[in-house]
Amino acid sequence: MKVIQNANLRDYNTFGMDVSCKCLYLVETAVDIPALFEKGTFDSEYMMLGDGSNVLFTKPFQGAVIKMVTKGIAKLDEDADNVWLNVAAGEKWEDFVEHCIQNQYYGVENLIGIPGLVGSSPVQNIGAYGVEVKDVIEEVRGWRISAKSPFAFRNEDCQFSYRSSVFKTGLKGDCLITDVVFKLKKKEDYHISYQGLADELQKSDLSLSLRRVADAVVAVRNSKLPDIRQYGCAGSFFKNPIVEKDVLDTLRKEFPHMVSYPSGDGKVKLAAGQLIDLAGMKGVREGNVGVWPHQALVIVNYGNATGDEVVAFYRKVQKNVMERFGIRIEPEVNVI
C-alpha cells in the first residue's frame, strides 16, 4: 500500500480540481485492508475515491482518501450460456469492457467509454444506451467499515435503481468495495433499441457484432460528450429528474416534444439535458466554467476553475431550470 501525506488530488479527479487531502492511501492488494483498520484510517474523516470521474472537490479534503488500485480479471465459472468474472475494484472500467469485447462476452458493450473504475460502477449503477451495470452484476464484495469485516452482497441486496444503490444511500461511506462479480452472456444478445444508438447503427448495413455496437456507442458519445483528457468534467453533471406523469402532461401542452422515459410507479424520467437546453443554458460559458455545447447535461472546466466557481455556475443552471419548468434538477456528481 502506498501512503502519500498531503497529497495533491489534481490528477485524481477528472474535473481537474487543484485540491489536497491529508493523506492518500493507494491500496494495491486487498490484503492491505486490515492494516487500514489497524492504522485507525477510518476513525476520523475519510472518503473512498474511484477514478474521481464523478466528484467535484470544492475545498481541500481534511481527511484520508482511500483509492483501490488493485488489478485482476479472473474467470470464476462458465456454462454453455454464461461466464462469471471476478474483477478487482481498481481495474479501469474501460479495460474491463475491452476485455469482454475481445473475449466475446456480451453485456457491457453499450457501457464502453464510461470513465471510472470497476469498483465504482455499482455505487451509482452506471448506465448508458439502454443498459445499466445492475443488469450484469451478480455480486459485490468488499469490507464493511463499521463492522471491520468482509461482505458479499448479491445483486438484490444492492438496492439498485437509476444512478443509485445501497452504497450511496443506506450504506453510504460504509463499504470499501474490493471486487465485483459479473455474469455475462456468451451468446449474441444486443441492446440496440436506444434511439441514438439505433440511428448510428443504421448508417451502415454491416452485420452486428460486439465491436460494431461498441464502435457505434463510441461514435454517439464522441458526438455529444467532451473528451475528459482534454476538458475537465465529470460526465453528466445532473441526474435526469423523475416526476409524476401529470407534470409531463402539463409540460407537453407548451413543449410537445418534451422527451420522457417510463420510470415505474406511474412516474416518468425527463431529460435534464433537454430542460437545460430549453432553458437557454446550452453552450453558455461564464469565465472558466460552462455548459457543454453538444450535451447540456455536462458542465465543463475550461481552464483553472475553482470548485466554488463550478458550484455557483451549476446553481445558476439549476435556478434557470426551476424558473422555467418548476422542476428541480439534482447533481449526479458528488460535491465534496
Residue 214, burial from CB neighbour count under 10 angstroms (0-12, 13-18, 19+): buried
Distance (Å, whole) CA 233 – CA 237: 8
Looking at the Cβ atoms of 179 and 332, the one nearer to ligand EPU is 332
Among 35-43, 90-98, 274-282, 322-330, which window interacts with ligand EPU (CB under 6 A)? Answer: 274-282
Looking at the Cβ atoms of 1 and 259, the one nearer to ligand EPU is 259
The residue nearest ligand EPU at its CB is: 235
Distance (Å, whole) CA 70 – CA 270: 37
Site string for ligand EPU, 70-109 (x = CB under 6 A): ----------------------------------------
- Tell me if residue 193 is catalytic: no
Residue type for 278, please?
L
Distance (Å, whole) CA 311 – CA 137: 33
Please tell me which residue in 53, 121, 163, 260 is annotated as part of the active site.
Answer: 163
Q: Is 168 in the site for ligand EPU (CB under 6 A)?
A: no
Strand partners of residue 68? 27
Q: Is 160 in the site for ligand EPU (CB under 6 A)?
A: no
Going by C-alpha positions, the residue among 52, 185, 234, 201 that lies closest to residue 129 is 201
Question: Using N-to-C axis directions, what is the helix angle for 210-224 and 93-102, rounded to 10°?
Answer: 150
What cell does 285 get?
A: 460559458
Determine which residue in the list 119, 235, 290, 307 makes contact with ligand EPU, applying CB under 6 A.
235
Main-chain dihedrals φ then ψ at residue 92, nearest 5 degrees: -70, 135
Minimum separation from the CB atom of position 192 to ligand EPU (A)? 12
Among 33-41, 55-63, 143-151, 289-297, which window interacts with ligand EPU (CB under 6 A)? Answer: 289-297
Determine which residue in the list 1, 10, 196, 215 makes contact with ligand EPU, applying CB under 6 A.
196
Distance (Å, whole) CA 248 – CA 181: 38
Q: Is 332 in the site for ligand EPU (CB under 6 A)?
A: yes
Determine which residue in the list 20, 178, 236, 301 makes contact with ligand EPU, applying CB under 6 A.
236
Residue pair 60/21 in contact (Cβ under 8 Å)? The answer is yes
Distance of CA 54 to the CA centre of its chain: 6
Minimum separation from the CB atom of position 102 to ligand EPU (A)? 23
- Tell me if residue 163 is catalytic: yes
- Tell me if residue 236 is catalytic: yes
Residue pair 221/298 in contact (Cβ under 8 Å)? The answer is no
Interface positions, 291-320, toward ligand EPU (CB under 6 A): 295-297
Minimum separation from the CB atom of position 155 to ligand EPU (A)? 20
Report the SS3 class of residue 56: strand
Strand partners of residue 164? 161
Question: Which residues of this chain interact with ligand EPU, rule CB under 6 A?
Answer: 128-129, 196, 224-225, 235-236, 239-240, 259, 271, 273-274, 277, 282, 295-297, 332
Q: Which residues are known to be catalytic?
A: 163, 236, 332
